[in-house]
């Protein structure tokens, strides 16, 4: 399974999805790990999703129309 075409981060996506559904997202996050594992790609997709006003809460994906 992949979230927004990103492979290998499904467990953390579920955690963010649960936190967002409960309005319990922290004010900041620290992403660490080896170079080239997709941190930046993941963070950009996560930011688009969290900041989306019309996101699909079931799939935790942005609408794609927000600025």
13-67 pLDDT per residue, tens: 999 999 999 999 999 999 999 999 889 999 999 999 999 999 988 899 999 898 8
8 A C-beta contact, residue 50 and residue 41: no
Q: Both tokens of residue 19?
A: 């936190």
Quote the CA–CA distance of 67 and 62 in Å, as a whole number.
11
pLDDT for the residue 25: 93
Q: What pLDDT sits at residue 57?
A: 86
- pTM, entire model: 0.85
Query: What pLDDT shows up at residue 41?
Result: 94
Tokens, residue 29: 């996050």
Tokens of 59: 């799939």
């Amino acid at each position: 399974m992949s979230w927004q075409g990103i492979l290998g981060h499904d467990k953390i996506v579920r955690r963010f999805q649960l936190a967002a559904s409960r309005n319990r997202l922290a004010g900041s996050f620290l992403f660490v790990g080896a170079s080239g594992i997709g941190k930046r790609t993941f963070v950009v997709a996560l930011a688009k999703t969290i900041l989306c006003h019309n996101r699909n809460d079931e799939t935790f994906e942005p609408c794609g129309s927000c600025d």
